[in-house]
Every structure is written in C-alpha cells, then in structure tokens.
Amino acid sequence: MTDQTRFLLSEADIPREWYNINADSPVPPAPVLHPQTREPVTPDFLSVIFPMEIILQEVSTERFIPIPDEVREIYKLWRPTPLIRAHRLEKALGTPAHIYYKNEGVSPVGSHKPNTAVAQAFYNKAAGVKALTTETGAGQWGSALSMACNFFDLDLEVYMVKVSYQQKPYRRMLMETFGAQVFASPTDRTQFGRSILAENPDSPGSLGIAISEAVEMAATSNGRKKYSLGSVLNHVLTHQTVIGEEALKQMDMAGEYPDVVIGCVGGGSNFAGIAYPFLRQNLREGQRTRLVAVEPQAAPSLTRGVYTFDYGDTAKMAPIVKMHTLGHDFVPPPIHAGGLRYHGMAPSLCALYDAGYLEAVAVPQKETFAAAVQFARTEGIIPAPESAHAIRAAIDEALDAREKGEKRVILFNLSGHGNFDMMAYQAYFSGQLENYTIPQEKLEQSLKDLPQVAVPG
C-alpha cells in the first residue's frame, strides 16, 4: 500500500485491442429489428447508415478487436488517462474506504466520447465516406465527433437539440472551430424536421427528433454520408473499453483490486467502458467485483423501465432493440445532466442487468450536485453533471463502508469535466434545482406505444 495519488501509464501502455463483451456475455443480446417490418435487420439495412467495418464490429463475437494504428496515434493526444486516488475526498468523508477514479475528462474535448468518435471517423474514412451526420444534446458527443472528423478530413453535420443550441453557445462554437456545421433541430432540412415544425413551429426539439433528422440525412444521401451514434450500440461500448483495460493495469500499480466499479449511464457507454473489462475478470477469473450503473431519478430506464423491444428514436426510424425503456415518446424532465436523458439503454448492458450480472441505482438531482460540489472542493475538478451521478454513488458506498467499518476499494469513472456546465452549478447554488420522481401514470402513458414484435423476447 502506498500513499501515491496518481497512477500513470506510458504511451506504450495504450491498449492495442478493444474488449468485446459479446465473446463472454452469458446472455446474448436479442436480435435488432427493422423499424418498419419489425423483422430482424439485414446488414443491407444497416449499411445504408453505417460502414461495413462498424456493422461487423456490432455483431462480432471475437473477444478482442485490434485498435488500428491510426486510432492509437490519435489516442496518444490524451491516453492513457490518469487513475487518481481521491485521498482528499476520503479524508473529508472520514471513511476507511479507498476511492479511485479514472479521469476521462482530460481528453481534448473533456469527456470519454472521443474514444469512439476517433474510431468511427477512421472506419468511415477508410470506407470512402465523405461526410458524417449525427445528433447532439448538450454538445459533448458533437464536440468529440467534430474533433475526430477534423482529424480525418471528413465533413460533419450536427443536429443539435434546439433548446441546447440556444442555451449552450460555447459547445456549438467549439464544434464550429473544428469545422463542423451545426443546425438547431428541428430544422427545415429534413422531411421529419419539417413535419415537426409544421405542427409546432416553436418546438424545443429533443434527442429523439435530432437522431431522426441525422439518420434521414444519411439514409437519403446515396452513400455519400453515413450516420454516427455516440452511445448505446455494441461497437461504441467496445471502443470505450480502453478505459477499463487501462484501469486494470493501474489498479495493479496501486496494489489493490476494486470491490465495486461505478459509472453513470445515459446510453451506457462510459459505464460499459470501465466495467466490462472487470466483468470479464468476474466471468473468467473468478473475481467478484460489484458493477454499479448510476442513473438519474428523472430518467430511470434501468430501475423503473420495462425490459422489452422499443424504437431507438422518437420518429421510429432507428432500429428496434430489446432494452430497459421508458418508451420512445418519453420526454424526461429538464435535468442538467443532458447526457443522461435518453429513454433507453445499451442492449448488452440491459441483458446483463436483467440476468443479475450488473447492479443499478437511481439518484436524485440535488443530492447529485451536492456530491459534485464536495468532489470539486476536495479534488479540485469540476465534474460534468453526468459524472456527478457516479460520484454520488461512490460517496454513498464510502459512507456505507464507514458505517460498517469496512475497508472497501471503490473505483468510479469520471466521464467528463463540467467546465461548460457552469449554468447548472449556478442553478444549484441559487436553489433552482428540483428533484423529479416520474409519476407511475406518466410512465405507463409513455409505455403505451411500444412496437408489437413477432420475435421471441
């Protein structure tokens, strides 16, 4: 045991392979269905919006997928990321627990998202694609993909939820600095956007609407443009496993092994990124680490959603997948963790949660910001409101260990910094934040319109 604070790897330690949970998951995910036919999708359908290499990764059962040299070269700009022992937070909590965090906020755009953005831009470029389309809510995914497309000389159209476009001008300018075109969604550029505007010219937009617009633009471009998604799908989760692979080595440097690994979940990618390599150790090496996914009480897909087939987007254009869902029409309350407001969750993660290999907790917004502030004041980093959910759960674990007089080793993923989220902090300090619990009737309402499918669930 040391009193060391930072556990640092060198460039040579950047993983050479991503880890694919499909190889080891005892619960294979259900088939992906076509949104219109509701039959299993063919690669033909997917190839309209994704390049073949990405589709192959989506369905691959290889345990390890080599990381191309071109991608590793770019990873060197910020990877390996530091593992940090939160000595000062431990002290403030008076806990015998040891708290470690992996800091993905050190990437150039401030979150874990470039881990997959760079890979996706690479595979699209290699396939001869000229431009990508995507959606963004708060702007973190759009920022990551803007940087990646700029490195690979690809054009990028970002459909940004209108209310965020207006409220978060800095994220938009960041994307524009990298050369992306950013549109406030709903736009008049797509049929779906025009249909929304005809009904409601003042629509504030939603992630589901923006996804539909970005998919439509790619699907109607005759192969010139492809679509890129920042979470939920298996290839995205796979790309994020560089986080957990590095963390395994770094925990080893610290001479400890985590009893619990924690991450926040929006679509599930940063949590899977840190947790799946540790899950492999559970499944194959007999380790017994608890893996805890943390979601907001305002969008509780795992803890209160139904495990069933649902559309990935509001317009019912994206594939239907089996997941814990709040319903594709679910409009979450306006919490400040924009990245955690999705109605569904990654199918592989849902299958594992349903079968008991993962745990989930839902935390309220105000207590989450209290944890964020305690973390900022002890560790010196302003966390993203999304990441603060993982911090809340890590602090609760540490307090529980104190109560029980247990030495517990806690590892959480700090998925991003919150330097662009100061309005959210201001709202917290001025007492404007609310806790939201979704009334059961509202949940039942949004679950009324689930697709009827013929395949066995």
Q: Which of 152/412 has CB closer to ligand PLP? A: 412
- 300 scored as a contact of ligand PLP (CB under 6 A): no
Q: Is 113 in the site for ligand PLP (CB under 6 A)?
A: yes
Q: For residue 163, give Cα distances in angstroms to 136, 204, 206.
A: 11, 5, 8
Q: How far is the CB of 207 from ligand PLP (least distance, A)?
A: 11
| Residue 258 binds ligand PLP (CB under 6 A) | no
Q: Give CA–CA dist 381/210, Å, rounded.
A: 31
Stretch that binds ligand PLP, among 317-325, 355-363, 367-375, 382-390 (CB under 6 A): 382-390
CA distance readout (Å), 360 to 223, 350, 356, 371: 40, 10, 10, 18
- Contact mark string toward ligand PLP, 383..402, x via CB under 6 A: -x-xx---------------
Task: Give the span between the Cα atoms of 229 and 216, in whole angstroms.
Answer: 13
Indicate whether 264 belongs to the interface with ligand PLP (CB under 6 A). yes
Q: How many residues bind ligand PLP (CB under 6 A)?
A: 20
Query: Does residue 116 contact residue 123 with C-beta atoms inside 8 Å?
Result: no
In this complex, which beta carbon is closest to ligand PLP, that of residue 209 or of residue 401? 209
Is residue 156 classed exposed, middle or buried when 0-12, 13-18 and 19+ CB atoms within 10 A define those classes? buried
Q: Tell me the residue nearest to ligand PLP as measured from the CB.
A: 416
d(CA 216, CA 210): 10
Chain Cα centroid distance, residue 297: 17
- Cβ neighbourhood burial of 69 (10 Å; 0-12, 13-18, 19+): exposed
- Part in contact with ligand PLP (CB under 6 A); list of ranges 157-165, 266-274, 301-309, 432-440: 266-274
Which one of 204, 339, 347, 364 is in contact with ligand PLP (CB under 6 A)? Answer: 339
Q: Does 81 bind ligand PLP (CB under 6 A)?
A: no
Is residue 149 at the binding interface for ligand PLP, with CB under 6 A as the rule? no
Looking at the Cβ atoms of 165 and 271, the one nearer to ligand PLP is: 271
The nearest distance, CB 346 to ligand PLP, in angstroms, is 8
- DSSP 8-state code for residue 416: B
Q: Which range touches ligand PLP (CB under 6 A), out of 59-67, 264-272, 317-325, 423-431?
A: 264-272
Instruction: Please name the residues in contact with 423: beta carbons below 8 A apart, sequence gap of 6 or more.
Output: 167, 336
Integer angstrom CA distances of residue 304 from 251, 278, 333, 439: 33, 26, 15, 11
- Strand pairing partners for 390? none
Q: Quick one: 451 exposed, middle or buried, by C-beta within 10 A (0-12, 13-18, 19+)?
A: middle
Q: Which of 81, 107, 111, 120 binds ligand PLP (CB under 6 A)?
A: 111
The torsion angles phi and psi of 75, rounded to 5 degrees, stand at -55, -30
- List C-alpha distances in Å: 260 to 4, 287, 375, 427: 20, 11, 19, 32
Q: What is the spatial distance between Cα 267 and Cα 391, in angstroms, rounded to a whole number? A: 18
Q: What is the Cα–Cα distance from 116 to 67, expressed in whole angstroms?
A: 11
The stretch among 51-59, 118-126, 145-153, 380-388 that binds ligand PLP (CB under 6 A) is 380-388
Stretch that binds ligand PLP, among 174-182, 210-218, 262-270, 444-452 (CB under 6 A): 262-270
Complex with ligand PLP: residue 51 or 339, whichever CB lies closer: 339
Assess 266 for contact with ligand PLP (CB under 6 A).
yes
Is residue 270 within the footprint of ligand PLP (CB under 6 A)?
A: yes
**Rule CB under 6 A: is residue 244 a binding residue for ligand PLP?**
no
Nearest distance from C-beta of residue 137 to ligand PLP, angstroms: 8
Cα distances (Å, whole numbers) of residue 225 to 38, 55, 101: 25, 16, 38
Nearer to ligand PLP, 162 or 389 (CB): 389
Does 269 engage in binding with ligand PLP (CB under 6 A)?
A: yes
Is residue 372 close enough to count as binding ligand PLP by CB under 6 A?
no
Region of 11-19, 31-39, 194-202, 267-275 interacting with ligand PLP (CB under 6 A) = 267-275
Binding site for ligand PLP (CB under 6 A): 111, 113, 140-141, 231, 264-271, 339-340, 384, 386-387, 415-416
